[in-house]
Amino acid sequence: MDEFRLVQVADIHLGAGKEHHLDNWLKVAEWIARERPALVVVNGDLIMGDPDDDADYAFARAQITRLPVPCRYLPGNHDIGDNVLSGKMEKRVNDARRARFVSHFGEERWAFEAAGWGFVGINAQLLGSNGQVAEADQWAWLEKALGSFSGRRIALFLHKPLFLDHPSEPDSDDANLRQSCIDAVSRSRLLVLCKQHGVRLISSGHKHQTRTFSLDGIYYIWAPSTACVNSPPTTLHWGAREVGFVDYRFRPDGFDHRIVGADFLFRHESYMRKYGVAGE
């Protein structure tokens, strides 16, 4: 059977001298070396926190290149800065930060075909860039990439989810919620293209929560982080507070997925560190 096994890891958050998530990454790397999927998609937030920390970049790259299988890379807010219009972090995406990511990982978007599917990965941080040339370039590239897979099922990968509750929701006034997903204008434009070209699956990271649902013919999968969960349990969550990654199997007639790792990774709780609670 023509089957393509793809593992998505997201929000691995690796940093030099900040090895409190490294135990999980080493277990993930060991699992990947044993299972040997055809491809690993690293869907953003490779870097621990500061997108301008060169030591973290070198550390993350050294850790990821341990994987004995091909990898494709997409940037997240902690790699190249947050979205200009909807982000929250002080550092926002720009050409220099994008160039740094590409110099370490070789790409910021990609498209390829396998098992009768078209696979497209985009730079989510460029959406809502307030007029950066690179965003216009990416929209033109995306339209062409999706068009080249016309008639096939398409899986789209990007770091941030498109929305929290529904595609029609407005941009939130709350900075935390607004930075959780793609801004409303970019989302609408993206969904028009997705519907036009037959996108069946949208796979994202960023929320450090697991959530799966289907809406209007598209499966949405929020992948957990391999590193940690973020907000306290009392905060409103849309998905499950767990760590892990996604094991996909694509075939010409569909796909399966399972969340792996919640049972053997340690659920680091990053909010405790922010409160200065010792003993994580």
Which residues make up the interface to Fe ion (CB under 5 A)? Answer: 11, 45, 76-77, 206
Q: Which is nearer to Fe ion, 77 or 86 (CB)?
A: 77
Residue 125 CB, shortest distance to Fe ion, in Å, is: 9
Q: Which is nearer to Fe ion, 15 or 76 (CB)?
A: 76
Q: Which two tokens stand for residue 121?
A: 């990965």
Q: Which is nearer to Fe ion, 5 or 237 (CB)?
A: 237
Q: Which is nearer to Fe ion, 138 or 180 (CB)?
A: 180
Residue 251 CB, shortest distance to Fe ion, in Å, is: 30
Residue 206 CB, shortest distance to Fe ion, in Å, is: 4
Separation CA 197–CA 207 (nearest Å): 27
Residue 78 CB, shortest distance to Fe ion, in Å, is: 6
Separation CA 85–CA 135 (nearest Å): 12
Phi-psi label, residue 197: left if phi above 0, alpha if psi -120 to 50, beta otherwise: alpha
Separation CA 137–CA 97 (nearest Å): 17
Backbone phi, then psi, for 63, in 5-degree steps?
A: -70, -40
Backbone phi, then psi, for 275, in 5-degree steps?
A: -85, -5
Classify residue 256 by its DSSP letter.
Answer: E
